[in-house]
Amino acid sequence: MIEILSNGAPNLIQDLGRRGHLGIGVSRGGAMDSMALSLANALVGNDEDAAGVEISLFPFRVRFQTVTHFAVTGADCIVRLDDEVLAPWWGRLARAGQTLVIERPKRGARGYLALAGGVEVDPIMGSRSTDLKGAFGGYQGRGLRRGDTLKLNGHTVRQNQAAGLGIVPKELPAFWKELSAGRVTVRAIRAAEYEYFTKTAHNALVQTDYEITPDANRVGYRLSGEPLPLQVARELLSHGIVAGTVQVPPSGQPIIQLAEANTCGGYPKIATVIEADLWKLAQAPIGSRIRFDLVDVDSAIDALRTRTAEARRIRQTLALMAQRD
């Protein structure tokens, strides 16, 4: 069990989301940076979709009430267990009474705390993730508050984690360098209404930067940059949309739908950010510049396969290390 020591409405219990309910108006939700949560779970021996904590408001503080294996991934934060500074993307063993502090990120936007066994909350529609729009799931359908206590599913103490285990995904160093320079490039495929837009819009989409405005949350990011005009004004019936969809309202300023994406919408769609790059958007803070790189569907599928293979390799490596102990 752990006790929350800091308030933070944006700090939420999340897993990898609930699938199969778009037809009744329930978005997939789940972690904004699914790679970070999945690999944090790997560090503590959980299934990849075990419930953890997504942290968007810092500093974040918790006190361990029992011996607990934990891991912190995601944004590049200073992490302290009592007075000891821990390495990034690292798993450790905490003793009862110790305090974990995750400071404001130096790079990135969201941190992830995984706890061995996973956070024990009731699943709703097959997921323990928090749906803020519907106010259900997670911890009472809301963000975490000072004084909340989180129960954990049972787990076995693994000796190899007393000293700690760490990982560095292959994509991470290059991404931190890119983010430090102020621009994040994400790959996208053409969407259904791409041809409705002017040549000027097509060029602007891939040749100019779009800034993440303060109107940004788990539903989506509103961007600011060169307008993306249609050839002629069009009215569309509402239709299904997913995380990564880049919609263009009458203002011409694009909106990227994210984890809690609306399940339908009528704005024309110019592109869709590929699934393998959604984690980059999750770690891009307000004010970051986004550049779109259009790729084909085959490239999008290959990118997802590569990411999946990397995650599998990391899990296998961690499993072998656990067996040696």
Q: What angle do CA 77, 152, 98 make, to 5 degrees?
A: 50
- Inform me whether the pLDDT recorded for 271 exceeds 70: yes
Report how far apart, in Å, the C-alpha atoms of 210 and of each of 162, 178, 228 are: 44, 15, 11
Q: Is the pLDDT of residue 156 over 70?
A: no
- pLDDT the model gives residue 324: 60
Paired with 257 in beta bridges are 220
Does residue 325 have a pLDDT over 60? Answer: no
pLDDT at residue 246, rounded to an integer: 97
| Residue 243 pLDDT class (50, 70, 90 cuts) | very high
Distance from C-alpha of 200 to C-alpha of 191, rounded to nearest angstrom: 17
Ordered domains of the chain (ranges, CATH):
2-169 (no CATH), 176-294 (2.40.100.10)
How far is the C-alpha of 202 from the C-alpha of 87, rounded, in Å? 43
Main-chain phi, psi angles of 322, to 5 degrees: -65, -40
Query: Which of 30, 10, 25 has the alpha carbon at shortest distance from 110?
Result: 10
Angle, to 10 degrees, between the axis of helix 34-43 and the axis of helix 297-324? 20
**Which has more pLDDT, 324 or 159?**
324
Rounded to two decimals, the pTM is: 0.94
Q: What is the pLDDT of residues 287-319, one digit of tens each?
A: 999 999 999 999 999 999 999 999 888 888 887
Residue 26, SS3 per DSSP: coil
